[in-house]
Amino acid sequence: MKGLDINTSGIRWEVQDGKLISPLTTIKGLGEAAIEELVHKRPFSTVEDLLFDKGVVARKVNKKSLDALCRAGAMASLMDDRFFGDKHFWSAVVVDKPKNKKKLGENIEKYRDEGSFTKAEIITHYKTLTGIYPINMVVPVKAYAFFEQAGIPPISEYDRDLGKVWCIPTEVTTRKTKTGKHYYQVKVIDSNMEEQKINCWGVDPQKDFLYVNRLYVLEWPQYNETWGFSTRSGVNRNWKLLG
Beta-sheet strands, E only, within the chain: 14-16, 19-21, 164-176, 182-189, 196-201, 216-219, 222-224, 228-231, 239-241
Q: What's the pLDDT score for residue 15?
A: 80
- pLDDT at residue 22, as a whole number: 86
Angle between helices 63-71 and 119-130 (to 10 degrees): 120
Total length of the chain: 243
Q: What's the pLDDT score for residue 53? A: 92
Please determine, looking at this structure, whether the domain spanning 141-241 carries the CATH number 2.40.50.140: yes
At residue 90, the 3 state secondary structure works out as helix
Do 73 and 27 contact (CB within 8 A), yes or no?
no
Residue 86 host element (H or E): helix 86-90
Residue spans of the domains in the chain: they are: 14-132, 141-241
pLDDT in tens, 95-150: 999 999 999 999 999 999 999 999 999 999 999 999 999 999 999 999 999 999 99
User: Is beta strand 196-201 parallel, antiparallel or unpaired with respect to 228-231?
Assistant: parallel
Choose among 192, 189, 182, 185: nearest CA to 216.
Answer: 189
Which residues in the chain land under pLDDT 50?
none
Give pTM, 2 decimals.
0.85
* Single-letter amino acid code for the residue at 211: Y
Rounded to an integer, what distance in angstroms lies between the CA atom of residue 137 and that of residue 197?
Answer: 21
